[in-house]
Structure 1
């Protein structure tokens, strides 16, 4: 059956809540002079495993936080609207799987920031729309490519030493994995009528046989001719006339 996408409050509440939590963590860090960077992912160390959970909520500066906040608002809203049943699993498992991959392949340095989750969302939304072949979700996939297609360059090493390309690559791969294994409802394909098919033969179509080569109707149904009623026909309605004498003009009796 055809999928009807319905707006709910979660479409706005989810991205706002998540992004607000990032800003609160950054405010606490600035306000109380904490340095949460050491709680990020430190690859192949036991203490660095804590970053699998904490790293998406830690940012190095205001610019880093802002650059991650805008795409998260857009992508989380799109995820919640088009994939509401999968959104929670994509976010939670995306953070965990991306963190583990980064812990395994990352350089010996602290990896922080929510950009890994952004790549999870991009990978999932893009590939899932292509897999479903549903025109609305394919259009969403193309929109993601237009908006964030340039992000693909940041999954390669030596683009920028300060950027965790390992986290980006881990996020993108995680998104692809979820797109393949997370099930979504079957979507109704666009109906293709007989006259739209390549092998359509108008001469065999009963409706088209009612037209000639000039587009005029042929084989019209016979007209029903109503019999005219004879001129001398009278109705059965009975009309009564009453004669009332005019008293003014009535002659007086002679005396």
Structure 2
């Protein structure tokens, strides 16, 4: 008899992911309606005490609808890949990516207001690639790399030189994701195509 729990867990994770993206669009609408007043109030401002709350606020804020629209597909696809392949501890993994990645941007980022969820996407990318290497999971590793290439050339996104792009958030997000993969012993695996018969 097949165990329904993995399916329920997957659907719950996907529902949380969809809800998170919906919240981003709601926040963006409020931000737009208020003349983007949320960005200076809650964005990450490196080496300023007033910008510390931006460590948590940065992934929720965007510079415009086009910015959020460009982040939405990789959020959904990379997030779904993470939900499908990681076995546990996703809350802790995300906390490390947000807190460590944001703290590194606050310490070493350029003098600007840093906003956007792309640091989280790069964190998931770094986590999946590192866990794929550690767990020797070629399917997961290959899938993460394909998504990275298709959406915004992730490998190049960690390099400076793109005006208006927080490459520091990309770089430190990926670093934080790799650190989470090493620190948290959650395995990744290829998506299962059939249920396990437990007797």
- Normalised to the residue count of structure 1, the TM-score between the two structures is 0.66
CA contact (8 A) 2:140 2:188 kept: no
Summarize deviations over 1:14-64 as a string: whole Å, max 9, x none: 210111110110111223444211021110110010100111100011110
Who is 2:85 aligned against? 82
Structure possessing the higher radius of gyration over alpha carbons: 1
2:176 aligned with 1:174: yes
Which stretch has the larger CA shift, 11-20 or 43-52?
Answer: 11-20
RMSD: 2.0
Q: In structure 2, the residue corresponding to 1:44 is in which secondary structure?
A: coil
CA contact (8 A) 1:155 1:165 kept: yes
Q: In structure 1, the residue corresponding to 2:6 is in which secondary structure?
A: coil
Question: Which of the residues 47, 52, 58 maps onto 2:61?
Answer: 58
CA contact (8 A) 2:120 2:173 kept: yes
Question: Which of the residues 133, 137, 158 maps onto 1:155?
Answer: 158
Distance 1:166 1:32 in 2: 27
Q: Could you list the runs of 5+ residues in structure 2 that have no partner in the other structure?
A: 190-199
Structure with higher helix content: 2
Count of residue correspondences: 180
CA contact (8 A) 2:105 2:168 kept: yes
Runs of 4+ in 1 over 4 A off after TM superposition: none
How much has 1:145 moved relative to structure 2? 0.8
Summarize deviations over 1:134-172 as a string: whole Å, max 9, x none: xxx4212111112213211111111x1210111111001
Q: Could you list the runs of 5+ residues in structure 1 that have no partner in the other structure?
A: 188-255
